[in-house]
Amino acid sequence: MELKHLLLSVEEKVATVTINRPDKGNSLSPGVLEEIRDLFTELSGRTDINVIVFTGGERHFSAGFDLNEIRKLEKDSNESYIALFHQAYRAILYCSQPVICAVGGPAIAGGFDLTMMCDIRYASERAKFGQKEIALSLTPVMDPLWRIIGLGRAKEVAMTGRIYDAQEAERMGYVSKVFPEGELLDSVAEIARNIAGFNQDCLKETKQLGNMIVDQDLDGAMRIQEWLFRSYIGSEDNHRRIDKLQAELASRQKK
């Protein structure tokens, strides 16, 4: 597909999707949202990709809504634009591959919402996070946010409109790790390559499991996990990886 607002590269089973609208702070125009929706839908069906990295580069993620576009909306004529946001959100959230978000700069409002649709989030020291919707008389996206950081903290993020720096986002469990400025993309690429080396079907099932178990009672979650584990243990790939691991352990013991 032809891309005007995104960049795509694929290497070693890792697809890197970069929002490329730096003159506008990577703000989310309808064109950007359409490309996110369509590209993640396409990537989800590709068998040559095991992991996706979603980023805005080392200096940006996304400043959020394109306010010039929102200013054009009327209350009774906003349905298509709102639907577009949620189509983009769902394309990331339900993409079959794990999606790693590399946040190099501000991720605010709609940009913040995009980060919460990803499976894992990493940030640079210059990253900032926040939901500013309340300051614009808009209601924010709180799910899956509350599943990531807990309901009480999600309410704080939503109702205060505060901007959080990368370190505070890490402390609240929203990002997994903060990297020095300028080192984010290389560091995340290495993590993504390691994950991409795992069994593709197992990665997809693990992502689906993570989305499913939050809606199950404990017994239901345990049964699903037992069934999935049973469907993989003893497989040819399982045995091959055991042999590889044992060989690595033996080599370490000799040293």
Would you give per-residue pLDDT tens digits along the chain (255 residues)?
789 999 999 999 999 999 999 888 898 988 999 999 999 999 999 999 999 999 999 999 998 887 666 666 555 555 577 788 899 999 999 999 999 999 999 999 999 999 999 999 999 999 999 998 898 888 899 999 999 999 999 999 999 999 999 999 999 999 999 999 999 999 999 999 999 999 999 999 999 988 888 888 889 888 888 888 888 788 888 888 778 878 878 877 777
In contact, 89 and 131? CB cutoff 8 Å: no
Q: Say if strands 14-19 and 6-11 run parallel, antiparallel, or are unpaired.
A: antiparallel
Domain boundaries, the chain: 6-196, 216-254
pTM: 0.90
Starting at the edge strand that comes first in sequence, how are the strands of the sheet with 177-179 ordered?
Answer: 6-11, 14-19, 51-55, 99-103, 120-124, 177-179
Compute, in degrees rounded to 10, the torsion defined by CA atoms 196, 201, 206, 212: 140
Which residues have a Cβ under 8 Å from the Cβ of 2 and sit 6 or more positions away?
Answer: none
Distance CA 104, CA 122 (A): 9
In contact, 213 and 160? CB cutoff 8 Å: no
Distance CA 108, CA 157 (A): 11
Query: What is the sign of the dihedral through the CA atoms of 69, 164, 195 and 234?
Result: negative
**Which pLDDT value is given to residue 71?**
62
Pick the CATH number of 6-196 from 3.90.226.10, 3.40.50.800, 3.40.50.300, 3.40.50.150: 3.90.226.10
Q: For the chain, state the CA radius of gyration.
A: 19
Tokens of 113: 């919402």
